[in-house]
Every structure is written in C-alpha cells, then in structure tokens.
Amino acid sequence: MGSFLKGLGVGVVVSSVLLGGAAYLFRGALPLLLGAPAPDIPKDTAAKPSESTGAVYAAVRKELDFSDRRDFEFAGRGFVATREDPLIRDASDKVVQDLSAYGFVKGEAPATVNPSLWRQAQLVTRHGLFRVSDRIYQVRGFDVSTVSFILGDTGYIVVDPLITAEAAHAAFDLVKQHVGDKPVIAVIYSHTHADHFGGVEGIVSRADVAAGKVKIIAPAGFMEHAVSENIIAGTAMSRRARYQFGSTLPRGPEGEITSGLGPALSRGSLSLIAPTDSIRETGQEMLLDGVTFSFQLTPGTEAPAEMNFYLPQMRALFMAENANATMHNVLTPRGALVRDAKQWADYLTQSIRLYADKSDVMFAAHGIPRWDRDVITDFLKKHRDAYKFLHDQSVRLMNAGLTGNEIAEQIKLPDVLARKWYNRGYYGTMSFNSKAVYQRYMGWYDANPVSLQSLPPVAASRKYVEAMGGADAVIAKAIAAIEADDSRWAAQLLNHVIFSDPDQAKARSMLADVYTQLGYRSEAGTWRNIYLSGAQELRHGVAAMPATTLSPSLIQATPTPMLLDFAAVRLNPARAEGKKIVINLVLSDVKERHLITVENGVFLHEQDVTDAAANATVTSKRADVLQTLLAGVPVLVKTAGGAIQMEGEASAYADLVSLIDPVDANFPIVTP
C-alpha cells in the first residue's frame, strides 16, 4: 500500500494507483491507522492522579508478586543485538517506526500508570534480535507482532512477517547482519490478521513467489478471511480502533503506553502475497529446507483461520496467537464477530496433548518465549483454564438468569489463575470477554421487555436530565459521586448531561477528568487507551484523521463481489426511493460479468449473470469501476477518456453511482 492495523485508526482509502480519489473505503482484518502521523492535538493539562487512583495501585501491588522476575529473564534471554538507528524509515524517508519511543518505560511505575500495565509495557517494548534456540530467532519490538526466523539448510523460513514491509525489511536486515545473509525459502502466515502477513513484501518479492523460489504457507481459508474480515463494517471498526489503540494519544506516562499486547503498530506499507500452499488438517507435515513442520489447525479461536506448529527436530512449539502473555480478546473493543472461548480452550487442550511433553521451548506471534517442558505445560494449562473458566462460568450465570452486564460484575478468575501474569487483562479482560460470551449465545437482548425498544441515547439522556431536575442538578450529583469515589456513576451522570446538551462545557471537562482517572487506573492497555481517547475528544473534539491508502496487493486480492457488497451497504435509501436501475457490468481485464440491480432501496449483484433488458451495459477495467463506484471519481472523467464505455442509457451508471454514500470515519463517540 502507500504509506501505512492487534491496530489504529481511521477508515482506509483504496490506493491512488488503483482507485484514485480521497474517499474512505475499508480495511481488512485489523483496523489500523497506517501512513499518517496523529494530528497535532494540544497536549492535555490532564487531571492529576487522585488519592483513590493511588489506592488502586496499592491494591495491585499487594495482590501481585512484583518480585517474580522470570518473565524479564525470558524477555532478555538470547538477546543478540538491535538496530543502531532506532528510526525505521520508508522510501520517502518518513519514519514508520521509532524503536526508542518507549524509552521512558523504565524504573518504577509513575503515578499515572497502573503498575501491572507498566510492568507489561516493559516486557513487550523490549526490541531487537533474540536467539530462541538453535536455528530459531525472533525480532521483537519492531511492531505490534513478532516475526520469527527459522534457519533451514540453505535459508530462512519466516513466520508472521509483521504488519508493514518497512518493519519486516528492517527485521530481516538485522537477522542477515548477525545470523547470516541467506535467502528466504518460505513464509508462514499463522493466521489472517494483517499484523501477521502485511510485511511480506519487505522480505520476499512477488516475482520470486510466482517463480516458485519461495513458498507461502497458510491455514486453509486464509485468503477468504484475510480479505473479508471487517470489510463490511470497516468504517465503524476503524473509528472505534482509534480508541482501542490510542492512535491519537501522545505516547508517555499520561498517554499511550502500548495496547498491552505489543508496541504501537508500524506505519509503513501493507502487502499481501497469496499462499502457494494450504494446511488443511491437524497433523499435516511439511519439510521446508530440511526442517520438519507438524501443523495444528485451530480455526475459530483468535482468528477464523489460524494454526500452530511443532518442530520435532528442535523440540519447539509455535503457538501463533492462541497463547499470549495476556488474556486476549474474545470480542475486540473495536468490534468484530465474537470468538468462541470454549473452542479456544479446547484447542489449547489439544495442543497440550499433542506437544507439551515433547517441547523444550515455546514461542509465539506476540510476547516472549518460554523454556522448559514443565514451565510450558503449566503455562498452557493455566492459560487454557482461564478461557475455559471464562466460558463456563459466564454460561452458568447466564443460565441462572443474569444479563451480560450482571455477569461482568460477578465473574472473577480464581486466584490460582488470576495471579499468573499471562492471565492478566492487559489486552482482553474478564469483564469485556464475559459479555462477549453472553453475546455469542444470547445476542444483545437481555429478555427484559423494556429493552425491546428502549430510547436512543440522546432522547433518553434528555429525559433523564429533566427527571433529575436539570443539568445543574445532575452535575451536582456527579460531583458528589466523584467525591465518594464512585467514578462509574459519575461518568454515567455526566454522559447524560452531554448527550442532552453537548455544549455543556462544565460537564465535558468533568467527564474528561473522570475518564482520565479511570484510564490511569486501568490494567488493560486497551481500556486505558479508550478512556484517555474519550477524555481527549471531550477536551479537543474529534481529530480529523487524514486519509491513508490501502495496499494494491490487498485490493487485488479482494474478490469483486466483496467490493460490491461494500457498495451495497453504502446505498442511500432515500435517494434510491422509487428508482430501478439495472446494469450489466463487464470487467474486461479480469474477465468478469456482474449484474447490478437497484430496486426497492436495495443494491443487489450477481456474478456471471446478464439481463438483456438492462438499462445499460458498462464495460471497463476493474480499477476504473472501483474508482467511480467507491472512491468518488466522477463517472464523466472515465467516460470522457474512454476508460468506461456504455451501451444503452448514457446516464444509468452515473445515476447508480450517485446513490452510493461516502463514508465518514470521524463520527463522534463521546458526544452525540
């Protein structure tokens, strides 16, 4: 793609090379802000940590064993070197990643960061090349994810090449410098999220893959899910992802200090080369450059297509993103389909049975390796038990009649699980995940009739404020709640005031301060970012993020019907009312035919179908159609130049395009 996702930002536009224009389109599996720095937002004169925030920190220090330094030993074991220049740049000399950006994360936690999250940030931001075992190396801290290099007889097998080509290229340079300048023989994508495939063109060329010099290996269903996940809802997901990853927050003790899963995403070029080989069943083996890989398929866990693998010659187990140094998300705050916590736990049980007893080292796509069979087995069992407990107890309480919100208030891991650092909620949380389990089984409706048609936020807030005696009375109640250290209730009260009157400056300032305190207290990097992003927007408004571009290779990989689906969900029914438009669409370069019909306010499309009675037949290369249909390029520009040719009603296609709404990834969240 042009200048550049577990990240984080804004809706993504199609590459100017392919589509032109400056309209948002969609992003793939991981909504991240790629390419442009955060806008220039004034630095907050944020609220100072309150006494109650300090009390939260004291409780955390009492609950957890901060003298346990084994993870730090694991994080540092095998360190070889890191880049001399911490700035990774793209071809235009723009910085896409600054490895020194988290240099402040050292020593004791400051008064603005939960000490448990501070500890996690110290672990996940350590960067450089590490020797995991004979023939296995990792580059960590160059991106939100980790890239692994397995040394074969003549070259490297690369696993999960980060999110951008620039970061992956920098990682590979470090490996070649310190391990050996050898070619890449194969690339393995462990799953379908962009931070595990996006950097592929930074280490191999499309030509070498086409020529058979490099294999690309992925789980069955990879391409379908890699290009489809989140396309339809990508605009909303991307906007929400700004909050989850704190993409507009300043980095520092009062702002973003990772998402809890890894450092911030690199902002370079996203790429995708389609797999040449698919793994279709657990137990399938493959010999790559003298190294035997035994694969375990785990679909529907952390990703819809995902796999672990075992290296018998090295007694090494790779767990993809199924076993992390944090509780993961069963539902991401940015939004996605709910994952299956039970299936996740079941596949971990299978991993234990298949591999634990014969593994001396375990490594993964995020976080740190673990060594020693007993350590690995204990980790996998207790991490598995956390997901199983989450699932089973959420369902038990659900069957006892509790709603998602009620379950979240009650559920808590047993101490034997909760006090394990890798089960802490740095990225996903028990609270959020338990609601996701409820949602997976029950949906949004809690069975209370009042919820069937409850008032929308603005209307409800106005009535709440009126019923409580007006804005001043509600603000007074919020002040009392803050003084009583009831921040959650204060936030709800102030939120009602703002949604009843967004110009209430006092309420906005107070709620921003409440969110700041809640952010400071949060152990989850995601929750911290969400609270602090909300505070930022209350103080400064929504930042108008600049448009970025989506990689041509990802667009090329997206089937035309998926792109037409995205047009369908942008059809404006008011403008389409009473209209019937039928278009035969002929895409000459890809040899495709699609019948598009707009009728009854609905956009329909069928492949390999034509209608002799259509209003018009449109013949064009695919890119020219996408430019006009999805990226705002005027139809006249393409017809005048001959790029789009029409038979039949000359205005029919322009009429169709006029019904497609632009998308806005800068919509408000904490204000109406």
**Over the stretch 397-449, which tens digit does the pLDDT of each residue have?**
999 999 999 999 999 999 999 999 999 999 999 999 999 999 999 999 999 99
Which of 95-99, 277-281, 551-555, 582-586 is predicted with the least confidence, judged by mean pLDDT?
A: 551-555
Residue 421 — φ and ψ, nearest 5°? -55, -40
Model confidence band, residue 27 (pLDDT cutoffs 50, 70, 90): very low
Which of 23-32, 239-248, 488-497 is predicted with the least confidence, judged by mean pLDDT?
A: 23-32
| pLDDT tops 80 at residue 554 | no
Helices (H), 179-221: 206-210
Containing 225, the helix (H) or strand (E) segment is helix 222-228
* Cα–Cα distances in angstroms (integers) from residue 213 to residues 155, 202, 219, 285, in the given order: 11, 16, 20, 20
- How confident is the model at residue 235, as a pLDDT? 84
The CATH homologous superfamily of the domain defined by 13-280: Metallo-beta-lactamase domain (3.60.15.30)
**Over the stretch 64-122, which tens digit does the pLDDT of each residue have?**
999 999 999 999 999 999 999 999 999 999 999 999 999 999 999 999 999 999 999 99
| pLDDT tops 70 at residue 33 | no
**Over the stretch 616-627, which tens digit does the pLDDT of each residue have?**
999 999 999 999
* Burial class of 89 by CB neighbour count within 10 A (0 to 12, 13 to 18, 19+): middle
Q: What is the arithmetic mean of pLDDT over 527-540?
A: 97
Q: What is the arithmetic mean of pLDDT over 250-278?
A: 95
- How confident is the model at residue 17, as a pLDDT? 32
| pLDDT tops 90 at residue 558 | no
**Over the stretch 295-343, which tens digit does the pLDDT of each residue have?**
999 999 999 999 999 999 999 999 999 999 999 999 999 998 899 999 9
- How confident is the model at residue 397, as a pLDDT? 98
Q: In the chain, where does the domain assigned CATH 3.60.15.30 lie?
A: 13-280
What's the predicted TM-score (pTM) here?
0.93
What one-letter code names the amino acid at 63? E
The pairing of beta strand 215-219 with beta strand 184-188: parallel
Helices (H), 541-587: 552-557, 560-568, 573-576
Specify whether the CB–CB gap between 516 and 1 falls below 8 A: no
Q: In the chain, where does the domain assigned CATH 3.30.1050.10 lie?
A: 559-658
Model confidence band, residue 547 (pLDDT cutoffs 50, 70, 90): low
Rounded CA-CA distance 262/271 in Å is 21
Specify whether the CB–CB gap between 426 and 457 falls below 8 A: no
| pLDDT tops 50 at residue 21 | no
- Name the more confident of 593 and 37: 593
3-state secondary structure at position 147: strand
Model confidence band, residue 546 (pLDDT cutoffs 50, 70, 90): low
- How confident is the model at residue 25, as a pLDDT? 37
3-state secondary structure at position 620: strand
Q: What share of the chain in percent tops pLDDT 90? A: 87
Q: Which CATH topology does 559-658 take?
A: Nonspecific Lipid-transfer Protein; Chain A (3.30.1050)
What one-letter code names the amino acid at 258? T
Candidates 443, 102, 375, 149; CA nearest to 263 is 102
Q: Cβ of 528: how many Cβ atoms within 10 Å?
A: 28
| pLDDT tops 80 at residue 11 | no
Q: What is the arithmetic mean of pLDDT over 542-558?
A: 73
